[in-house]
């Protein structure tokens, strides 16, 4: 892959109003803070806020030199009007984003769907090209994704339209199959190489290392449980089971003994694997970006990882 990625990336789902709404100025300030902190990888998708994240990210980066940052987006969900015939849509989006339901997502991993999705993303971003395109969450669509979406992206890569192609998922098993059976440059693994879940190391990460496929680690806070000094909140977007909450508290206690906070360790841990080139963390405000930047600037003692392994808290 002919791209140099910053060790930390900016995930744009929160500025697509994930869970709660933010205004345009707050979104702009978050992106500005990320760029000013040295982040040069920005990730987005049509799925995030029914295109809102792409529009906001494109606007926020418009004044930055295009060759100064790397941008990734995704294909697999087309956005289509929810109310044909001019009728006003009712309600809010039902997939976790606080946006009007004037559009809805249609899964489409066909060749034409991939090309249409990318064209529409470029329009929302206000750009002529993106650097990385990922096949997004093809969990129930393996056959079409591997037989149509992947060849379409490989053709775009061969033509120089995009620099790198890959897949992004919340599971490691299908990503492993992609790496084994296709010629991907990069995968985005969400939530499966974290302090609480190292299942990605069973097959995917070693294979990526062997095949020269770069790994972007996302979802490193497991949707919230690892995001605060005292573990609380959700795990994989649902209430955290008691056993996982207890394990997170045990990890936090070991971190505290070493003068490290739980979110600091969560941001640092994935980069210990040589296949991981970048950690992508979402943020909805400049304050969240600043907090994460401060945490990643602090060194984490090697003894912390040794103690966590000795106590059976990480593999």
C-beta separation of 118 from 131 below 8 A: no
Alpha helices in 69-220 (DSSP H): 111-125, 142-144, 150-158, 173-181, 204-211
Residue 305's nearest CA partner among 246, 245, 264 is: 264
Residues 6+ apart with CB under 8 A from 37: 289, 290, 293
Rounded CA-CA distance 81/261 in Å is 44
Catalytic pick among 8, 35, 48, 69: 48
* Angle at the Cα of 292 from the Cα atoms of 188 and 167, rounded to 5 degrees: 5
Alpha carbon 234 to its chain's center: 17
Rounded CA-CA distance 62/23 in Å is 18
140-161 as b/e, with b when 16 or more CB fall inside 10 Å? ebeebbbebbbebbeebbeeee
Which element (helix H / strand E) includes 24?
A: helix 24-36
Question: How many contiguous H segments (helices) and E segments (strands) does the chain have?
Answer: 11, 12
Rounded CA-CA distance 45/187 in Å is 15
CA-CA distances (angstroms) from residue 68 to 35, 36, 40, 131?
10, 12, 7, 12
| DSSP-derived 3-state class of residue 289 | helix
Known active-site residue 237: no
Q: Which residues are catalytic?
A: 48
């Amino acid at each position: 892959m002919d791209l140099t990625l910053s060790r930390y990336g900016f995930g744009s789902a929160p500025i697509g109003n994930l869970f709660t709404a933010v205004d345009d100025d707050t979104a702009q300030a978050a992106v500005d803070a990320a760029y000013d902190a040295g982040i040069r990888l920005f990730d987005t998708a049509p799925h995030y806020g029914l295109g809102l994240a792409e529009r906001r990210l494109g606007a926020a980066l418009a004044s930055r030199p295009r060759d100064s940052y790397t941008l990734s987006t995704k294909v697999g969900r087309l956005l289509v009007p929810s109310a044909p015939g001019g009728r006003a849509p009712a309600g809010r989006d039902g997939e976790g984003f606080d946006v009007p339901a004037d559009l809805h997502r249609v899964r489409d991993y066909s060749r034409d769907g991939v090309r249409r999705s990318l064209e529409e993303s470029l329009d929302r971003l206000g750009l002529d090209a993106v650097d990385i395109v990922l096949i997004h969450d093809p969990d129930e669509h393996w056959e079409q994704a591997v037989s149509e979406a992947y060849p379409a992206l490989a053709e775009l890569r061969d033509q120089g339209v995009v620099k790198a192609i890959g897949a992004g998922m919340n599971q490691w098993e299908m990503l492993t199959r992609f790496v084994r059976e296709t010629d991907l440059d990069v995968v985005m693994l969400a939530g499966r190489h974290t302090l609480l879940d190292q299942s990605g190391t069973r097959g995917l990460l070693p294979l990526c290392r062997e095949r020269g496929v770069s790994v972007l680690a996302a979802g490193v806070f497991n949707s919230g449980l690892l995001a605060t000094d005292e573990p609380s909140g959700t795990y994989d977007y649902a209430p955290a089971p008691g056993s996982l909450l207890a394990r997170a508290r045990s990890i936090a206690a070991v971190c505290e003994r070493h003068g490290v906070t739980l979110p600091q360790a969560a941001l640092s841990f994935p980069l210990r694997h040589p296949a991981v080139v970048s950690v992508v963390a979402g943020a909805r405000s400049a304050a969240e970006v600043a907090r994460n930047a401060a945490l990643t600037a602090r060194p984490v003692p090697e003894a912390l990882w040794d103690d966590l392994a000795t106590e059976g808290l990480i593999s």
